[in-house]
Amino acid sequence: MSLRVFILAGEPSGDRLGAALMEGLKTLAPDVSFEGIGGTLMAEQGLQSRFPMDELSVMGLAEVLPKYRHLKRRIRETADAVIAMRPDVLITIDSPDFSLRVARLVKQGSDIRTVHYVAPSVWAWRPGRAQKMATCIDHVLALLPFEPPYMESAGMDCDFVGHPVVAEPKATAEEIAALRQTCDLGDAPILLALPGSRRSEVGRLAPVFGAALRDFAAAYPEYRIVVPTAGPVAELVRQHAKDWPQGTVLLDPTGLDPAVAEARKRAAFAAADLALAASGTVSLELAAARTPMVIAYRFQWLTWQIMKRMALIDTVTLVNLVSETRVVPECLGPDCTPSRIAGALADVRANPEAQQEAMGLTMERLGEGGEAPGLRAARAVLARLQ
């Protein structure tokens, strides 16, 4: 039996998820065809994108306003294409500002089955999003093991399919040795500094991180600080890092082959003894490398006030949530100060083993050692279709 799939992603992380899902579908249903929107990785799996995925990368807050009319046209155009194709399933991946608007229009004009990959974090705040999503989504593919009950209570099918971090390659001993040699790190202990991948994050966090790192380095001068950066913020990080402790190493991916840059980043994560990171999924990358961490984040004042009132959880770190522990220290909002961060780093340095069990449990619960998430996601899609 042939299978016709319309699949769409709006950003690089969704492109990776989409490519793995497409590969899984081709494995389980060889007579499958795809239409939709995606990036280079989905193109490698055979998708001819209806328009460049980059057009959707502005979906967000202030950035969307100048592009609103164009994006609204793309939403309508995409929904019309889905309805005209009459696929067996529409799969939307993350990017809810675009994806769910398309799914809503498709449901208004057809009975096409809709699947959304990546559940909204209703367990953290705004639980009403699940009920709203259920008006246009039939089936959710969840990355976190505790998410299905939230989606199912709103009336949607939901399957936990594993987090993509568990399928990422591991750094080899040779790659770690090459990084140490190339960056002249010798046998020194390494402290990773990860002040974010967006300019707004780096602008808020880099000065605080720098002051905290100077305090830490004054007490523990044997540590070398390594800063893996994302290309779009590399120059901004470089400007801030001029005031960081002497010998700080910046890993700038600009001009490198993406595979080489990613391998170097993996080696840095694996080589590190300790990490200071902005809040986000980077905590899972560190957990995969078994690198003990401190999480810090400074919010805009109004954002922090709203979050305090609306938050349903007492931690923002996924390692803490998935492992059901609170072993990863957090310096958030008004607690994101150099002295608190430096103190937390010193505490983790003194007892790095405290996080190891929680990191291992997190990876196990996210699917490490099991079937690849893309294949699990494909299996879930097909099972619900049948």
69 Cβ contact partners less than 8 Å away, ≥ 6 residues apart: none
The residue type found at 154 is: A
Q: Tell whether the model's pLDDT for residue 60 goes beyond 60.
A: no
pLDDT of amino acid 58: 52
Tell me the HSE value of 283 on the side-chain side, using a 13 A CA sphere: 26
- Given pLDDT bands bounded at 50, 70 and 90, which one contains residue 24? very high
Distance CA 144, CA 148 (A): 8
Coil, helix or strand at residue 125:
coil
Average pLDDT along the chain: 92
Percentage of the chain lying above the pLDDT 70 cut: 96
Residue 95 has pLDDT above 80, yes or no: yes
Can you tell me the mean pLDDT for 67-72? 82
Q: How large is the C-alpha radius of gyration of the chain?
A: 22
Residue 59's pLDDT is what?
40
DSSP H stretches of helix in the chain: 12-28, 40-44, 68-85, 96-109, 128-133, 148-153, 173-182, 199-219, 234-241, 258-271, 282-288, 301-310, 318-323, 338-350, 356-365, 373-385
**Contact (Cβ atoms closer than 8 angstroms) between residue 344 and residue 317:** no
- Of 48-62, 75-89, 124-138, the range with the highest mean pLDDT is 75-89
The answer to whether the CB of 7 falls within 8 A of the CB of 47 is yes
Can you give the pLDDT at residue 303? 67
Residue 14 · residue 161 · CB < 8 Å: no
Listed in sequence order, the residues at least 6 apart from 29 whose beta carbon sits closer than 8 Å to its beta carbon are 1, 3, 378, 382
Q: Are 115 and 90 in contact (CB under 8 A)?
A: yes
Which amino acid is present at 325? Answer: T
Q: How many helices (H) and strands (E) does the chain have?
A: 16, 12
265 pLDDT band (50/70/90 cuts)? very high
H/E segment holding residue 204: helix 199-219
How large is the average pLDDT for residues 260-287? 95
Residues facing 90 on adjacent strands: 6, 114
Average pLDDT over residues 236-248: 94
Give the model's pLDDT for residue 232.
85
Residue type for 206, please? A
Name the residue among 99, 25, 90 with its Cα closest to residue 377: 25
Give the count of alpha carbons within 13 A of 86, CB side only: 0
Residue 63 has pLDDT above 90, yes or no: no
Q: Flag whether pLDDT at 174 surpasses 90.
A: yes
The length of the chain is 386
- Tell me which of 39 and 58 has the higher pLDDT: 39
Only one residue has tokens 């490698």, namely 44
- The DSSP call for residue 64 is G
Continuous H helices in 311-385: 318-323, 338-350, 356-365, 373-385
The pLDDT, as a whole number, for residue 116 is: 98
C-alpha to C-alpha distance for 109 and 105, rounded to whole angstroms:
6
Given a cut of 70, is residue 251 above it in pLDDT?
yes
Q: Mean pLDDT throughout 212-228?
A: 97
Neighbours of 79 (CB within 10 A): 21
| Residue 226 contacts residue 201 (beta carbons within 8 Å) | no
The order of strands in the sheet holding 32-37 is 32-37, 3-9, 89-93, 114-117, 139-142, 157-160
The model's confidence at residue 305, banded by pLDDT at 50, 70 and 90, is confident
Separation CA 344–CA 207 (nearest Å): 17
Give the mean model confidence (pLDDT) for residues 104-124. Answer: 93
Residues 159-167, mean pLDDT to the nearest whole number: 96
